[in-house]
Structure 1
């Protein structure tokens, strides 16, 4: 392979450029398909290394996607990709090659299927284990509408098959022989990491050359599915034959396709740590981060994930009762360090968040303190378990939510912007957000010391930056800034990553507008600290800033607490809008939401203007004149 350069626009090979649609793909001679596959891999390595994105999963499905679009007629025949991060080849074969120079960048191609981009993207699927349910519903819709001439195909990675939803759907699909869903099981033995559990062992037996009887008596056939395979996932001819056979049986069928993750790019094929599952900007010639991003003489800021990984390992060494649980995200959430040191105390349950949380409840019932590490966006899938299995029983389970807030290039399905709102309804839930590495260390230990209910610690997809010292700690809260020589007019209550811009805004307000302010980090957001309510009462205006949606977020709960206490000070919550945010940089998205220093400054000025214009009272004037 001769990968393209990672700088500048990557040239689109002629054969790839010719694939302006699936119909155009079907005009390419069979003899040229191997060359097309090689061209696609060359292009993907260059393009994805230039922008960052999911590389390994897509290199593994090149031939499979070619075969799918040659056998089925998208969009008349429906192709569903689960998980959607294996859909880059699908994007290429449906005429979107030119957009890869801005892959996952603001205004550019999404890293997942996107209905806004193409009629060939039927669902925007980037959460695992859902495509079989979509397929079940679509084939039912076709039957009701008497559309008997079109196929429904769900391409599901073997890791996604570990999710409970996939088995709920399979239970229904297999029970209805008249609804011919075609399930393409992409078996590469990995999702984000090696596939775990009994399913992985069963698939290993099925693809063993010794297992002819096992193939005839496998779990899928036992459920009533027509089983086709295992098929070499890099042999286009064999794939086309298998797919046509599955379509012809006229009942639910599963095509077991064996592929190699990272196929054709040596660094990705040899990667046992799944570093090439998703990459940042990379030098394709070496497989290492691009030279411009490497500063060997400078100590690079550490990511929140790596900080948590180290602190959890230290905590596990201190306390034998600390165990950890994740849902197929051992390395992405930082649990790998603890797993290496204490393998018997770390449990990866596969892509099964509901089971992960309920299993953690069992561990807590048995006397342990589980730390459940998930991406924030994925916790919503297990809200019922957090509510009814953990909180109802007042169990000490700590949730550590990675990628809380906006994540950037992964787009709307991965922004962790609902967790505070969702968990706020859980009785007894305590939620914290560290502002720096020192607070992460403190808060993780404080969470682990809670023995009568659940706790949650939120960390963003970012580097932690320098420590932000406190002027004082007051009833568990940290006072970070207090204006001198000015009346303390405004209380800025910032959380996690909004604290630095809040401090910058306070300095601008003081030096350029003559407005005095206090900046406080509550550390523990919910339940609202009564001391914070009393502090709010000593100011004329409260502005809160959080990287959660404003709807039901921390700010709204502080406002309610003030109302309940009979305090009339106006509380203006700043946060993310109640909308699905597109993919863009974190900096851009936070600025658009008014969560940078400029946005917070403008919000304070606008709120003060409104307050002066509409609600100036003698009491307000007396307060404004009185030093705090």
Structure 2
């Protein structure tokens, strides 16, 4: 019986003591270990399985952490974490107070750069390489591992463009598996496919044209070939580029066959690969599906409707429209800036453009929102999925800043639906024609109403822009909520002894505010509580405080939301409890008034 190699690897120094002939066995053990933990604890599976051999080879050949290794995005870094001292606590991955699902500088000296959003690795590694040259350290290696979906992003090309005119000791490794979360798209994907198939002559190699020493493509699962090439490149000075071919989900047949589903499959059987069925039963819909199905319904009637997403057709559920109307729905790849300005261009020509972007990723296109959309007052409809706390993906992915960074922009309308019916109706209202751009923010996860498509709710209703609604009358204290967190307020008020003391108002519009309603509230109540699932600093609560100051109201205002810190990973319930905006915390607070 073979001995277990992995259990004796506590850091890359241990790894480098192995004979090269032992590495295929280590690769199998590492795959099995990742599968065994993720099957039970959940997480990102396929990406890490695809780079097992590369991960081992990198730490075997290079002197990490002295040599600097950067993983783009970080979905594929589980093997890296396990080999760099985190095997024993890998079971805490993505859990409250556990290790992060992404590389994180404060977690390990082997995590040279914190990541979570795509296409940053080349620029970061180049910056490190130039700094090493300036310090006279010409032997240090700087390696960026980037996927074929991420390298198509503009920032990656900016890094390549700069690196090609430097003498930086930089190695860019392209992990080419033809898929990100969804299949890769675009002309660059087609180019890379041609290279892999030998249809593109070497003399036309675009990477060589950028002054990189290009090698490949090679089989990324042939660990001996990868090690041999890394050893050669280690001695080559200047910018280098290694093109490797891998299979996402390698080693688990189901993950290879269905790479989209097994990117993050949830819990599954480690032996068979079968995903454990979730008891969805008669549950409310996911907000992303409310968006996707409603947009499809509206697009059947309104031929001017266009759908655009940067690389998230499945995650955003734009795929419903892409399947039905492929000429009117576009996945533009990991290119948020392009997605926003493309939307603006279409809007100038009378198209009704729904630009669907995760809240955390719209941050990457902030200038385009201001300069290309809002400044020209173009009625682009931004649908911000995953707004608020998103859970286990942690600080890099929480959509908690959008209210603060959007509400300072002139011309823009900002709306957060209370539930799926409100989301459905604001999508309907927006496509009727607005004179301004609008941002519609809604959370990850499920809504409130199971039969949201029933006859009772089936007809669309136009929403009057800038109106708030009274959900509950009360005598002494006014609670003003924005978005789906208002449902926590409703549940909390139902638990206390004297709910009649509290009035509850749904301020779905942060901009424009319902000032008539606010004047009534401030003239009626001495105590006002605001609550949001966004950053308190600069968000909805700040808006209400500003209104009170401008109008010289002296009511006591308490603002609840996400505190002024980066919130780490954990379930949404756990993180809401940490921020004291969960039902239990709210009911205790209300009871103490």
| Farther off after superposition, 280-289 or 143-152 | 280-289
Q: How does 1:16-415 map to 2 (within 5 A)?
A: 16-176=6-166, 178-211=167-200, 214-271=201-258, 274-291=260-277, 293-294=278-279, 298-415=281-398
1:450–1:556 CA distance, 2 compared to 1 (3 A): farther
Partner of 1:434: 417
Farther-moved stretch of structure 1 (450-459 vs 65-74): 450-459
Q: 1:461 aligns with which of 420, 444, 447?
A: 444
Q: CA deviation at 1:404?
A: 0.6
Q: What SS does structure 1 have at the residue aligned with 2:363?
A: helix
Q: CA deviation at 1:508?
A: 4.2
Unmatched 5+ stretches in structure 2 = 458-462
Distance 1:370 1:489 in 2: 44
Q: Could you say what secondary structure the match of 2:476 adopts?
A: strand
Cα distance in structure 1, aligned partners of 2:449 and 2:274: 26
User: How far, CA to CA, are the matches of 1:433 and 1:281 in structure 2?
Assistant: 31
| Partner Cα separation in structure 1 for residue 560 and residue 143 of structure 2 | 43
How big is each residue's C-alpha offset from its partner over 1:219-243, in whole Å with a ceiling of 9 and x where there is no partner? 0001111001011100111111211
1:477 corresponding residue in structure 2: 468
Deviates more, 1:568-577 or 1:390-399: 568-577
Q: CA deviation at 1:476?
A: 3.0
CA contact (8 A) 2:467 2:513 kept: no
CA deviation vs aligned residue, 1:109-161 (integer Å, no higher than 9, x gap): 21101223211001111110101110111011101111112100000111111
Aligned to 2:525: 539
Change (3 A) 1:153 1:379: same
Aligned to 1:110, the other structure's residue is in SS state: coil
CA distance in 1, matches of 2:512, 2:81: 45
Secondary structure (helix, strand or coil) at the match of 2:342 reads helix
Root-mean-square deviation over aligned CA pairs? 2.0
2: CA distance, partners of 1:535 / 1:270: 59
Deviations 1:556-592 (A, max 9, x none): 1122123223333232211101111110111111111
Residue 57 to residue 598, structure 1, CA distance change in 2 (3 Å): same
Give me the whole-angstrom Cα distance separating, in 2, the residues matched to 1:562 and 1:321.
41
Partner of 2:511: 526
- Note closer, same or farther for the CA distance 1:495–1:288 as it changes in structure 2 (3 Å cut): farther
SS in 2 for 1:98: coil
- Cα offset, 1:301, TM superposition: 2.8
SS in 2 for 1:544: strand
Quickly say closer, same or farther: Cα 1:384–1:416, change in 2 above 3 A: same
Contact 1:60 1:263 in 2 (8 A): yes
CA offset at residue 439 of structure 1? Answer: 1.0
Distance 2:519 2:273 in 1: 55
Q: TM-score normalised to the size of structure 2?
A: 0.94
Answer yes or no: is the 8 Å Cα contact 1:231–1:242 preserved in 2. no
Q: 1:182-219 CA deviation, whole Å, 9 max, x = no partner? A: 000100011111111111111111111354xx234300
Q: Report if aligned partners of 1:394, 1:428 keep a CA contact under 8 Å in 2.
A: yes
Instruction: Tell me how far apart the structure 2 counterparts of residues 519 and 597 of structure 1 sit (CA, whole Å).
Output: 15
For the 8 Å contact 2:309–2:356, the answer to whether it is kept is yes
CA contact (8 A) 2:138 2:169 kept: no
Structure 1 unaligned blocks of 5 or more: 1-12, 609-628
In 2: Cα distance, 1:417 partner to 1:423 partner = 11
Give distance in 2, aligned partners of 1:197 and 1:182: 24
Alignment of 1:578-589 (within 5 A): 578-589=564-575
TM-superposition CA deviations, 1:245-290 (whole Å, max 9, x none): 2222211010001101111111011115x01111222233454442
Residue 58 of structure 2 aligns to a residue whose secondary structure is helix
For residues 289 and 405 of structure 1, what CA distance do their matches in structure 2 show?
Answer: 28
Judge conservation of contact 1:358–1:390 (CA < 8 Å) in 2: yes
Distance in 2 separating the partners of 1:580 and 1:393: 33
Instruction: Report the Cα distance in structure 2 between the residues aligned to 1:566 and 1:480, rounded to whole angstroms.
Output: 26
Q: Is 1:495 matched with 2:485?
A: no
| Matching of residue 516 in structure 1 with residue 501 in structure 2 | yes
1:485-538 per-residue CA deviation (whole Å, 9 max, x = no partner) reads xxx1111111222112211333345x25x7611111122222211123123222
Task: Output the CA distance in 2 between the equivalents of 1:383 and 1:603.
Answer: 36
- CA displacement at 1:319 relative to structure 2: 1.0
Count of aligned pairs between the two proteins: 580
SS for the counterpart of 2:112 is coil
Equivalent position SS for 2:516: helix
- Separation in 2, partners of 1:604, 1:123: 43
In 2: Cα distance, 1:481 partner to 1:596 partner:
19
Query: Structure 1, residues 46-79: CA drift from partner, whole Å, max 9, x if none?
Result: 2111111111101100001111111111110000
Q: Who is 2:460 aligned against?
A: none
Q: 2:561 corresponds to which residue?
A: 575
Deviation at 1:605, TM superposition (A): 6.3
Separation (CA, whole Å) in 2 of partners of 1:449 and 1:389: 22
> Which moved further from structure 2: 407-416 or 17-26?
17-26
Distance in 2, Cα, partners of 1:442 & 1:361:
23
* Alignment TM-score, normalising by the size of structure 1: 0.89
Deviation for aligned residue 1:80: 0.3
- Distance (Å, rounded) in 2 between the aligned partners of 1:310 and 1:564: 42
Distance 1:29 1:147 in 2: 29
